[in-house]
Structure 1
Amino acid sequence: MNEDKAGPRRSLLAQGRSRDTRQAIIKAALELWGERGFDAGFDGTTAEEIAARAGVSKATFYYHFARKEDVLLATGWLTAKVFYEDVVKALIDGSSTDDVLNDVTTKLCRRIEKVPRSALRRMMQVMSDVSDRPQDGERLRFQRGFAVILLQGQQNGDIPQTLTPSDLGMMFEVMLMSAIREWAYDEDFRLSEVLHERFAVLLAGARHVSASALGRPAAS
């Protein structure tokens, strides 16, 4: 094999193995915490136990995660990554902006509702302590998925050009995180129903906001 091609290939294989190892550790941690009940399981489960369940060494665990709380962060980023992949699949199918948003929101809510509320509360506490959340690799944010939906809507003429997709995507992400927090602390909160309603209102507002309302000159 040509050396120029072998180097990048080895790099991709190494990245793939590293990603698989991280996901195996996350899966093992979630399994153990779930089996023991999250509140007791999180505090009582050691990194060594998680590593053993994942089939890796304790040193490998600490190579990927400095502490157990970082596994929770990675779980959140992994959820955002799956959300983004759902968005791409829905857009490829050629669905409308509203249908794509409704579809991916329903799937996201189903995933979130499977997570113990106590786990979500701990995760949000950890996230509030993290000031730098880069949007690359495993650290994908929900904003990006929403922005892709809205960009496609603008390209199709379904959404006006008055707001940038990234700014509007951030608004959707803020609304999402607020609803997740409410669900985590309120047993009666209807996550899916509320999010669909709020997203519909935000999308309708985006479709009707004018350039003048944003303090911009009207298009000539």
Structure 2
Amino acid sequence: MAVSRPLPAAKLTQERSRATRKNIVSAALKLWSQRGFDEGFETTTVDEIAESAGLSRASVYYYFPKKEDILREIAWTTAEQIHELSLRSLMTGQPVAEVIDEIMRQLGEMVARSPKAAVRRMLQIRDQAPESLARDSAAGGMTRAFSVVIAHAQEAAELPRTLGSLEIAELISSIAMGAIAKWSIAEEFDLPGTLRRRAAVILAGVRHL
């Protein structure tokens, strides 16, 4: 019978930190949504978030010095999930079009589960913070996720090398963010379907360069 090994101390600390951050984000989102996001975001105190999360005020401040940092965490977590999905998808051996289509579907579904007001505020913060764009370009970001998939497709001769993988990835990320922004203000908008269609158009265009 296999014996499970305890996690290394550093890994265990990292997992606990991630769980704590997730707990804080969930508590904040719940309070903001209950009060109507725009009003809730402005009026909810750190003490209330800490109490809802079962943590001390100091713990919340340690992870998130400002409420805006909680929204940034939501955006970055989504991007990291997309990056992990892209790596898993490469292991399936599926054509690039199917991989990108699945990534777009899951991205659309993840975003669509969030309050639209929260997404609008996240987009505003992202546009106002250069570090958000820098983190997205680094490992784990959405642009990086698409770049990994595109580079693999180019190596397998599924896509031409007329454009670099990062440039194509930036195009896909740009159309994705545009669709998300539109969804956040629209009454009726099929976000997963729109993301999938727009990505397919980009790939079709790349193939014909």
Question: How far off is 1:160 after superposition?
Answer: 1.2
Q: In 2, distance between residues paired with 1:112 and 1:68?
A: 20
Q: In 2, distance between residues paired with 1:140 and 1:123?
A: 18
Q: How does 1:59-70 map to 2 (within 5 A)?
A: 59-70=58-69
Contact 2:32/2:41 (8 A) holds in 1: yes
Q: Which residue of 2 aligns with 1:82?
A: 81
Question: How far off is 1:72 after superposition?
Answer: 0.5
Contact 1:25/1:50 (8 A) holds in 2: yes
Question: How far off is 1:66 after superposition?
Answer: 1.4
Q: Which residue of 1 aligns with 2:111?
A: 112
Question: How far off is 1:125 after superposition?
Answer: 1.2
Q: Which residue of 1 aligns with 2:5?
A: none
Contact 1:87/1:104 (8 A) holds in 2: yes
Unaligned runs of 5+ in 2: 1-7
Q: TM-score, normalization: structure 2?
A: 0.88
Q: Which residue of 2 aligns with 1:93?
A: 92
Contact 2:86/2:149 (8 A) holds in 1: yes
Larger Rg belongs to: 1
Question: How far off is 1:139 after superposition?
Answer: 8.1
Matched letter for residue 173 of structure 1: S
Q: In 2, distance between residues paired with 1:79 and 1:169?
A: 17
Listed one character per residue, the Cα deviations across residues 122-172 of structure 1 (whole Å, up to 9, x for unaligned) are 111111110123438x98421011111111211221011222211211111
Query: How has the CA–CA distance of structure 1 residues 139 and 115 changed in structure 2, closer, same or farther, with 3 Å as cutoff?
Result: farther
Contact 1:90/1:100 (8 A) holds in 2: yes
Q: Which residue of 2 aligns with 1:214?
A: none
Question: How far off is 1:193 after superposition?
Answer: 2.5
Percent identity for Structure 1 against Structure 2: 37
Contact 1:78/1:140 (8 A) holds in 2: no
What is the count of residue pairs matched by the alignment? 201
Q: How does 1:6-155 map to 2 (within 5 A)?
A: 9-133=8-132, 134-135=134-135, 140-155=140-155
Please, what is the CA RMSD of the aligned residues? 2.1
Matched letter for residue 118 of structure 2: A
Q: In 1, distance between residues paired with 2:141 and 2:17?
A: 20
| TM superposition outliers: structure 1 runs of 4+ over 6 Å | none
Contact 2:105/2:195 (8 A) holds in 1: no
Question: How far off is 1:24 after superposition?
Answer: 1.5
Q: TM-score, normalization: structure 1?
A: 0.83
Higher RCO structure, 1 or 2 (CA under 8 Å, sep 6+): 2
